[in-house]
Amino acid sequence: MNRLRIGVIGLGMVGSEQVATIARSVALGELVAVSDFDLDRAHAIAEGLPGDVRVARSAEELIASDDVDAVAIASSAASHLSLVLACIEHRKPVFCEKPLALTGADCELIIDAEIAAGRRFVQVGFMRRFDTAFVELKAAVETGDLGEIVALQYVHRAADVPEYFTSAMHTTEAVVHEVDTTRWLADDEIAEVSVTGTGGRSGLDEWLDPQFFSFRTERGAMVYAEVFLRAGYGYEIGCDVVGRQGVARLTNAPVTAVSLDFRTSGVREKDFTVRFGDAYRRELTAWAEDALRGIVTGPNAWDGYAAAAATDACIEALRTGSPTVVKMRERPALYGQGPSRAT
């Protein structure tokens, strides 16, 4: 097999970009099938894509089809567990958008399925690991020149999110990125979390926005993340990695600035599809190359599980208003070395 025949499930905000990326920019991939509950939308999108892209009757039919070698899942988070398990059952490599599943317990079912199958099939869509600026930040950390890492400070702001967003979705949809980025940059696990917010009392019932997350890592670094999902002005991602000897800073300043009349103005990225467009291309390209070789080198099911274990604790902390310990199982041998902690 020298080209990977790919099927995509879920054609919403992310999936509609993903099919275009696969069809146009993943050299070793060929988009052959798509699926969405909304069949009219699926047909309209398929017709606008290059090549012969068929609309599957259902996600399950797409996964089982002989003409699909590998599956990318960009459907809503609640659907991920059953779809990923079906891919593993059919022995098909699968790229699953974050979160891998809604809870740590659900992610464990995926880990157990991979262990039973004897190999990894899953790459999780933690695209920051493929973003040029984040890769440079990681390289700066890996020189060791910053000294002991004592803090990571993030901003994560979006202009707006859909009506259906709830307070808990700051966690499962947004701060899950800061959780993974921290594990990857600092090579450390999140041990304890606290969450507060503005706009209501602490708890799951009111819309708290922005929310402020603080994590203590296993090695004792502190992590602060402001997650502001209706920030109005645009999309912004920032990260300071603070060491005892120096700081490495990723900013999301406007790329182009125009100075006139003693003022400087610039154009800010509209949303994540623009800010991380290159990262999505790179992560899907890497996934397709790996899938053709039968390996997973990107963020895997263990990374998806570790992130969900931390977000479980964040939701509990949001509910109770108290600091909450992250509970994780022992890291199985299938997932090799890396930050690992059992509680």
Chain positions contacting ligand NAD, by CB under 6 A = 9-15, 35-38, 59, 74-77, 79, 97-98, 125, 127, 173, 272, 276
**129 or 138: CB nearest ligand NAD:** 129
**272 or 287: CB nearest ligand NAD:** 272
Q: Within 143-255, where are the H helices?
A: 169, 176-186
**Residue 131 corresponds to which amino acid?**
D
Min dist. Cβ of residue 157 to ligand NAD (A): 14
**189 or 283: CB nearest ligand NAD:** 283
CB distance 23 to 51 below 8 Å? yes
Min dist. Cβ of residue 33 to ligand NAD (A): 12
**169 or 221: CB nearest ligand NAD:** 169
Q: Is the dihedral of CA 96, 97, 100, 103 positive or negative?
A: negative
Min dist. Cβ of residue 102 to ligand NAD (A): 10
Q: What's the CA angle centered on 143, arms 141 and 149, to 5 degrees?
A: 40
Min dist. Cβ of residue 259 to ligand NAD (A): 32
Min dist. Cβ of residue 300 to ligand NAD (A): 16
**243 or 304: CB nearest ligand NAD:** 304
**Residue 78 corresponds to which amino acid?**
A
**221 or 279: CB nearest ligand NAD:** 279
Min dist. Cβ of residue 126 to ligand NAD (A): 7
Q: Which residues are CB-neighbours of 342 under 8 A, at least 6 positions away?
A: 328, 329, 330, 331
Structure tokens of 63? 């996964």
Residue of minimal Cβ distance to ligand NAD: 12
Query: What is the three-class DSSP state of 328?
Result: coil
Contacts 24+ apart (CB under 8 A), 312-316: 312/103, 312/104, 313/190, 313/192, 313/193, 314/171, 314/175, 314/193, 314/195, 314/213, 315/168, 315/171, 315/172, 315/204
**Residue 127 corresponds to which amino acid?**
M
